[in-house]
Amino acid sequence: MTLLEARSEADALEQLHALGLTDGLPVVIPTPERVAAMVLATGLDPDLELGVMGPAHGVASVEKVAAAAVMAGCLPDHIPVVVAAVRAVCKPEFDLTEMQSTTHCTAPLIVVCGPARHQCGGVASGFGALGPGHRANASIGRALRLTMMNIGGARPGVSDMALHGHPGKFTYCIAEDTENSPFAPLHTSYGYEPDQSAVIVTGAEAPHSTFFTGDADDPESANLLLNVIAAVMANPGSNNAHLRHGSLVVIMNPDHTAVLARAGLSREDVQAELAARAANSTAMLVRMGSVFHLGNDSPPDEMVPILKDPSRIVVFQAGGKGLYTMVMPSWCAGPHQNPVVHAEIDLDQACEVPGIAEALGDGASDTGEALGDGASDTGEALGVGGLR
């Protein structure tokens, strides 16, 4: 990897900004010592290839991913989740090249499931878990974004063609609130055992607020709640309504999952009910100017579901108690139509090394080489040099 030279960390940071190797925010300079310590924490060979990241088709080696994790401010505890997230988005069915190149605002949402929620730095699942103040969430999601930029080669307006983007393109990571949820652990829906850990990843828009007051004593509360969520899902201006593919994420707060639990509904029941209810009439689609409605001979009151496969509705509990559930629509396009992907978080592989945190925080001195990568337009990941 190409090394850059700088007289100080401040100069190195400005050089990284100038080369387009940051997300626009300050980063931790990934010196050789810091990157080597992060690689060591993975327990993997630095040259091991985790996948290929489009649109530049850069190879995501462990060392390159570790450099991104250092830059993002990750601790060694976070790196197993970052590695799993990279493996997930590199799966061919995720269509990373197309996702990074679309004009839609889609961004990969990482849902951390299983014991890794606690063992990997405490990934937040409660109040404000998608917002500021949660180091693990922020750093893990940001590390994935930096790999997508510096290995995958996504540059705004050049290869990342999102017209507006959204804040989740900085970082988009949350954990499932498994202990307080009435549903089975989310990752068990994808074939994992409860004591395993996994990331569930799908391309998603920003959260859309879904307001429901409810009444614990009203036997119709579950029915009404499902209607409200389905209505937000069926937003007739969304890609889901027009393209009728993709996936959706529904993050329910504890008060809302309790309503459904009292009605005896499982996650699968909720998915099926939402898939059946989230629909628009042909007349509505015509009024919206959709070129994807059922055709001129379709009855105007015929209901058109926004997606065909209930399993593509990712339903789980997170957040604080209250009035709001969050719905994240999706892009729905690409060869595989915006599916849900997942990868196991390998906690056994990670290696605990004495002094590793100190190595990652080691500031170095007055002169030396700063880390870097030569060509931001080649999709190469950051190389590392050392401040000595």
For CA atoms 344, 347, 350, 354, the dihedral sign is positive
Tell me if residue 281 falls in helix, strand or coil.
strand
* Three-state DSSP class for residue 186: helix
Q: Mean of the per-residue pLDDT values for the chain?
A: 90
HSE-up of 317 (CA within 13 Å, CB side)?
23
CB 97 within 8 A of CB 157: no
CA distance 186 to 43: 27
CB contact at 8 A, 307 and 330: no
Q: What integer pLDDT is reported at residue 384 of this predicted model?
A: 39
Residue ranges in the chain modelled with pLDDT below 50: 363-388
- DSSP H or E segment with residue 88: helix 79-89
In the chain, DSSP assigns E strands to 4-5, 49-53, 58-61, 107-113, 173-175, 198-204, 208-211, 248-252, 279-281, 303-305, 313-317, 324-328, 341-344, 369-370
Q: 250 pairs with which residues across the strands?
A: 315, 327
E strand spans, 205-312: 208-211, 248-252, 279-281, 303-305
**Torsion angles phi and psi, residue 104, rounded to 5:** -70, 160
CB contact at 8 A, 299 and 251: no
Q: Do residues 72 and 142 lie in contact, with contact meaning Cβ atoms separated by under 8 Å? A: yes
Helices (H) and strands (E) in the chain, counts: 13, 14
Residue 249 carries which side chain, given as an amino acid letter?
A: V
Give the closest residue to 53 by CA, choosing from 128, 167, 146, 136: 146
- Residue 377's pLDDT is 36
Domain extent listing, the chain: 1-205+335-388, 207-330
Q: What is the pTM of this model?
A: 0.91
Question: Could you read off the pLDDT of 306-319 as tens digits, one per residue?
Answer: 998 999 999 999 99
Determine the pLDDT at residue 186. 98
The whole-angstrom separation of Cα 135 and Cα 161 is 29
Contacts for 39 with CB less than 8 Å, ≥ 6 apart: 46, 62, 63, 66
- In angstroms, rounded to a whole number, what is the distance separating the alpha carbons of residues 207 and 195? 29
Judge if the upstream peptide bond of residue 156 is cis by omega within 30 degrees of 0: no
Res 292: pLDDT: 66
